[in-house]
């Protein structure tokens, strides 16, 4: 295993730093602020308490929809025939009728903007066959994400026994959702129409009013039931940094919006994101056995960001590259090692690295000449 250690000067904070001196959401049962690119928690309150999420439940369903599209299992222009089960959903809805035909794209918009219970059930039945199987998929995905305080009993969030999640778990779902531009494209809409130009035209108005009144907010999902109170998972982007906030159990929608706005203001005023390394930026070279060239450039598989606390001094850090012993051929995107970000002898982040370009296998003649050269020079791979 090869190690390369380089020195950097950066502004760093520990993996978990949050405001303890002030309650940013005094009326909420639970709350959290997370910086999206690093996953760092900036503020937390009762984040592991199991609570009813109301329509924030739909975030997991939305994640399954967008992932199904990206896997090629369904397409945005696929037609969904609405079942009697889907059309019978109460609560917030887009007034689907049994037998009505609507695209996956429009149904997704109906969930993202208007929080349609009927729309998420129709989408769930499209993906999984039945509502029950879709709920199983939701719980299976929750386990894959490591969510320990989540159990879904339905895809819409209407009150049901043993249906719960936590502020921390919902923030983890949100972190996955914001990786998909399609989600923010729709959760950032304030108003739109379905069935436009027909006699059943439906006006969509976003249940998240911050989308209209806060220029930085472009999602994600509100929720309300009598048991859950007023809930909101919000996300906003400013100066290259994206924040995710969650509040549970607020007494009024106005309080929910006010405290969420305060949490976002706190995050943006106290922290900033610095890009340490860009995706596809060369961080070193590697020798690969039986490869077409002697060395290949290696690059991070994603941008490496550091979260800065604006009140802290700069510190010296290093990054260390650990590579595997490898043989050609290798495709770009295959993991060839790890890049560790180290501060005070502690690994604070770890990123997969790959080759910048595909590695081809050398022909026999080239390998023969290389072996002769290595024997003469005393070099070995």
Active-site position among 68, 83, 92, 115: 115
- In sequence order, the 6+-apart residues with CB closer than 8 A to the CB of 378 are none
**Does the annotation count 55 as an active-site position?**
yes
The DSSP H or E segment spanning 138 is helix 131-144
Helix (H) or strand (E) holding 63: helix 58-70
Report how far residue 35's alpha carbon sits from residue 155's, in angstroms, rounded to the nearest whole number: 27
Is residue 293 flagged as an active site residue? no
Neighbours of 215 (CB within 10 A): 10
Residues for the chain: how many in total? Answer: 381
User: What is the rounded CA–CA span in Å between residue 93 and residue 102?
Assistant: 14
| Token pair belonging to 253 | 């929608």
Q: Which of 244, 251, 209 is nearest to 230 (CA)?
A: 251
Phi, psi of 31 (to 5 degrees): -160, 155
CA distance readout (Å), 373 to 65, 218, 291, 369: 55, 59, 15, 6
**Which one from 45, 58, 109, 221 is the annotated catalytic residue?**
58
109 catalytic? Reply is no
Inter-residue contact 321 to 337 (CB < 8 Å):
yes
- The set of catalytic residues is 55, 58, 115
């Amino acid at each position: 295993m090869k190690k390369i250690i380089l020195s950097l000067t950066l502004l760093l904070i520990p993996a978990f730093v949050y405001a303890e001196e002030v309650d940013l959401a005094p009326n909420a049962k639970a709350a959290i602020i997370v910086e999206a690119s690093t996953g760092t928690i900036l503020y937390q309150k009762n984040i592991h308490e199991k609570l009813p999420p109301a329509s924030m439940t739909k975030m997991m369903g939305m994640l399954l929809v967008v992932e199904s599209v990206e896997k090629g299992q369904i397409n945005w222009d696929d037609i969904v025939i609405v079942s009697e089960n889907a059309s019978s959903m109460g609560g917030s809805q887009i007034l689907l009728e049994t037998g009505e035909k609507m695209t996956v794209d429009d149904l997704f918009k109906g969930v993202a903007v208007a929080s349609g219970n009927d729309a998420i059930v129709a989408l769930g039945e499209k993906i999984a066959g039945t509502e029950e199987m879709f709920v199983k998929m939701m719980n299976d995905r929750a386990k894959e994400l490591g969510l320990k305080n989540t159990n879904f009993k339905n895809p819409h969030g209407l009150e049901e026994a043993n249906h719960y999640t936590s502020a921390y778990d919902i923030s983890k779902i949100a972190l996955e959702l914001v990786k998909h531009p399609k989600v923010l494209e729709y959760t950032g809409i304030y108003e739109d129409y379905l069935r436009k130009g027909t006699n059943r035209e439906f006006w969509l108005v976003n249940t998240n009013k911050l989308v209209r009144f806060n220029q930085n907010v472009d999602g994600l999902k509100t929720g309300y039931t009598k048991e859950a109170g007023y809930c909101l998972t919000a996300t906003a982007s400013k100066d290259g940094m994206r924040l995710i906030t969650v509040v549970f159990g607020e007494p009024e929608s106005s309080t929910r919006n006010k405290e969420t706005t305060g949490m976002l203001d706190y995050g943006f005023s106290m922290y900033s994101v610095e890009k340490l390394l860009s995706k596809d930026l060369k961080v070193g070279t590697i020798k690969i056995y039986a490869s077409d060239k002697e060395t290949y450039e290696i690059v991070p598989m994603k941008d490496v960001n550091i979260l800065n606390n604006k009140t802290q001094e700069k510190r010296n850090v290093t990054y260390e590259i650990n590579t595997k012993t490898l043989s050609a051929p290798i495709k770009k995107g295959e993991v060839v090692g790890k890049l560790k970000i180290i501060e005070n002898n502690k690994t604070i982040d770890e990123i997969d690295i790959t080759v910048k370009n595909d590695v081809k296998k050398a022909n026999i003649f080239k390998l023969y000449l290389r072996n002769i050269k290595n024997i003469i020079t005393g070099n070995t791979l």
